[in-house]
Structure formats: structure tokens, C-alpha cells
């Protein structure tokens, strides 16, 4: 069903190649604006879906996929363009692989996994967004570079590692409880 939240999710997915092309062209200002539009549409689609009860199965699957696709594309390209360090991007990729692999392993070995984002994961998402907008804005010349860029980078790195560890801990505990119940 194509409702407004699902349309906005599809719009976010469609924006990814345009953001990528602008980054590769060195048009950081345009990429920054498109990235902010994408993030705002994510917020708007969530508000609409919750407030007007327009949640769908498609939206539940496509929305986080659109988020990951957008964030990972921008992170990878900023690393390729030497605006972010490789070790940061490696941590982001490893965390995402860990979450997907862990969820699949739990599903096939234990049973259905009910996933809810943790507070540390929500903080990580917020910091990652702020970091990416900041780096894009610096590269576009909208903001001067400063020590707060490094502070944001290390804070986001820390929450990336902690949130990945949190999921391993929670799923491990759930797996032990499920095994005891058998």
C-alpha cells in the first residue's frame, strides 16, 4: 500500500544515487542539502505513520533499509573522499554486519526476534547524522573545521561500538533464556 510514509521512504531511497553523484562530483553543498532533506523526510514519515496509524509491513522493512542505505552510502563516500577515516567506516560496517548476522542467526537458531532499537542505538543514529551533516557542511565550506569535528567523530565511534556490543549482549541473553525454556 502506497501511503505518504511509504512514499517518503521510497523518495529517500531514490535520493541516494543523487547524493552519491553530488559527492563524487565534489558538490558537497548540494549533497549536504539532499542529505538533510532525506533525514527530515525520515522524521516526517515516522511522525505521520505513528500519528495517523499508517504503519505498514512494507514501511517496517523499507524504512530502516532506506536509513542504512543513505547513511552507509554517505559514510563510504566521505571515507573514499578522505573526509572520514577508514577505521571509523570499518566500525560502522562491522556493527551493521554484526546486527544483520546476529538477527539472522537468532531467527534461524532460536526463533523470531523482536527487535527494538536501544537508547544507545538511537543516540548512535543521532550522532552519526550530526557527524555526517557536519562533515558535509565543513567540506561544502558552510562551517569552519575545528576540534568539535574530532569530538563528534570519536563520540559516534564510541556509540557505534557500544551499540553493537549492546545488541550482542541482549540477543545472547535472549538466546540463553530461550534455550532454558526448551
Provide the H-helix boundaries in the chain: 4-24, 28-51, 57-80, 86-109, 119-140, 147-181
* C-alpha to C-alpha distance for 19 and 11, rounded to whole angstroms: 12
Half-sphere exposure of 74 (CA within 13 A, CB side): 32
Instruction: Count the residues in the chain.
Output: 182
Cell numbers representing residue 112 in the block: 523470531
CB atoms within 10 A of CB 26: 12
Asked if residues 73 and 142 have their Cβ atoms less than 8 Å apart, the reply is: no
The single residue of 45, 67, 96, 145 carrying the catalytic annotation is 67
For the CA atoms of 17, 72, 130, 60, the dihedral, rounded to the nearest 10 degrees, stands at 90
Cell numbers representing residue 169 in the block: 549482549
Is residue 67 among the annotated active site residues? yes
* C-alpha to C-alpha distance for 30 and 36, rounded to whole angstroms: 10
What residues are annotated to the active site?
Answer: 67
Amino acid at each position: 500500500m502506497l501511503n505518504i510514509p511509504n512514499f517518503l521512504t521510497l523518495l529517500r531511497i531514490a535520493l541516494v544515487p543523487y547524493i552519491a553523484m553530488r559527492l563524487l562530483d565534489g558538490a558537497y553543498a548540494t549533497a549536504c542539502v539532499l542529505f538533510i532533506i532525506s533525514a527530515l523526510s525520515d522524521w516526517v514519515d515516522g511522525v505521520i505513520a505513528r500519528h495517523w496509524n499508517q504503519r505498514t509491513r512494507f514501511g517496517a522493512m523499507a524504512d530502516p533499509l532506506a536509513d542504512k542505505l543513505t547513511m552507509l552510502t554517505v559514510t563510504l563516500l566521505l571515507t573514499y573522499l578522505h573526509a572520514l577515516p577508514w577505521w571509523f567506516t570499518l566500525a560502522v560496517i562491522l556493527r551493521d554486519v554484526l546486527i544483520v548476522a546476529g538477527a539472522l542467526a537468532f531467527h534461524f537458531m532460536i526463533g523470531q526476534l523482536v527487535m527494538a532499537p536501544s537508547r544507545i542505538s538511537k543516540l548512535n543514529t543521532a550522532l552519526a547524522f550530526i557527524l555526517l551533516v557536519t562533515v558535509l557542511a565543513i567540506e561544502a565550506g558552510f562551517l569552519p573545521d575545528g576540534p568539535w569535528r574530532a569530538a563528534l567523530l570519536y563520540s559516534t565511534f564510541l556509540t557505534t561500538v557500544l551499540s553493537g556490543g549492546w545488541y550482542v549482549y541482549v540477543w545472547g541473553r535472549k538466546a540463553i533464556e530461550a534455550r532454558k525454556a526448551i
